[in-house]
Amino acid sequence: MEKVRVLDMGLVSPLRSQAIYHGVAYAMQPDTPNTIILVGPTDPYVCIGYHQELEKEVDVPYCQEHDLSIYRREVGGGAVYLDKGQVFTQWIFQRGQLPLDLEKRFALYIEPLVQTYQSLGINATLRPINDVHVNGKKIGGTGAAQMGDADVVVGSLMYDFNFDLMARVLKVSSEKMRDKIYQSLNQYITTMTRELGETPDYEAVNQAYLKHCAETLGVELEYGEPTAAELAITEELEARFTSDEWLYQKGGLRQTGAVKIHADVYLVETAYKAPGGLIRSTARLREGRIDDLTLSGDFTMLPAFAVGALEQSLRGVSLDEEQVRARVGEFYGSLQVQSPGVGVADWVTAVLSLKGQMSAH
């Protein structure tokens, strides 16, 4: 691996803080250097994962009333509130330069984060598959994607975090549930400020992080600037990221529970928590078969089109365990899919739960 370029972007607009790593990835050419971006947003915003359905995850009216922009990234994972209390650490590498196995890729990416926290006296460790923990509390998650000719891994240095707003922007069933989310965030999430009793100097920590990146990767780092081509593609993506078509693309069937259309047709929605994330299954069932299906959630699945391909492969299948398992098995056998913490058995359970929901009505 040759020298790795560092783009230290400082504070930029919320939109640019998400779009820049997408732009660098999609602009990647054979001679583009592997790149690490450090960037933070000037203002707070909400960001949802690639496979999520906006209106099921985020309280959109609240965000609109409080001028909180919402963007969808091309990386999996869940909805999150973001502000300048986090510095995003974004790796954009040539395809094949990072470990092919996604769990090993996360472990490599997380190593300099762990080393940085430990250098501050914070007892950080990797918690597989892709989290960083401190004494049982999470101090950051990560996500991965393939964009163009690039492999992308993203996460953050957690200086501070607004637990109140994170609990407020999420879509919940009741205020009692929101209170429980707030309590859980406080109990199971931590930051550098919480661990140290004060917020450390951003520049010193960022420099320590880059030093540990160089050591982990065994490379020299070299500061650079985004190219004209990278900025042009970033601006094109910003136009897409602000469109309703992109933001609401996982709209699917927006019913909840089970709705009987007539004797043979139901709209059904279920949620199943796999080790690698929540799977929401929303389906139209006709005579016991899947007539239409939307799969969403905060899981990670590469390549990104694989979710749509799995939806297509399950259409027309009877809600029979043997048939569903066979179809999902065929899907995994025909594509090189990586879905850490979500396997064939999880998809089978998630899809068959539709049957249980329908029989309950």
Domain ranges of the chain: 4-247, 258-359
Q: Tell me: the pLDDT tens digits for 275-333?
A: 999 999 988 888 889 988 999 999 999 998 999 999 999 999 999 999 999 999 999 99
Q: Taking 90 as the threshold, does the pLDDT of residue 229 lie above it?
A: yes
Question: What integer pLDDT is reported at residue 256 of this predicted model?
Answer: 47
- Asked if the domains at 4-247 and 258-359 fall in one CATH topology, the answer is no
Q: Which of 88, 97, 82, 76 is nearest to 28 (CA)?
A: 97
Helix/strand/coil for 23 = helix
The bridge status of strand 86-94 relative to strand 124-127 is: unpaired
CA dihedral 144, 146, 151, 152 (to 10 degrees): -40
How far is it, in rounded angstroms, from Cα 292 to Cα 339?
A: 22
Confidence band for 257, pLDDT divided at 50, 70 and 90: low
Sign of CA dihedral 300, 162, 248, 61: positive
Confidence band for 251, pLDDT divided at 50, 70 and 90: low
Instruction: Pinpoint the alpha helices (H) of 99-191.
Output: 102-119, 163-169, 175-188
Asked if 342 contacts 301 with a C-beta cutoff of 8 angstroms, the reply is yes
Integer CA distances (angstroms), 184 to 128, 177, 178, 237, 262, in order: 20, 10, 10, 35, 41
Angle among Cα 37, 20, 99 to the nearest 5 degrees reads 55
Q: What is the CATH number of domain 258-359?
A: 3.30.390.50
Angle among Cα 93, 94, 95 to the nearest 5 degrees reads 110
How far is it, in rounded angstroms, from Cα 195 to Cα 201?
A: 14
How far is it, in rounded angstroms, from Cα 316 to Cα 31?
A: 46
Asked if 346 contacts 272 with a C-beta cutoff of 8 angstroms, the reply is yes
Confidence band for 252, pLDDT divided at 50, 70 and 90: very low
Looking at per-residue confidence, does 265 or 176 come out higher? 176
Lowest mean pLDDT among 129-143, 203-217, 264-278: 264-278
Question: What integer pLDDT is reported at residue 306 of this predicted model?
Answer: 94
User: What is the mean predicted confidence (pLDDT) over 192-199?
Assistant: 98
Q: What superfamily would CATH give domain 4-247?
A: Bira Bifunctional Protein; Domain 2 (3.30.930.10)
User: What is the mean predicted confidence (pLDDT) over 133-155?
Assistant: 94
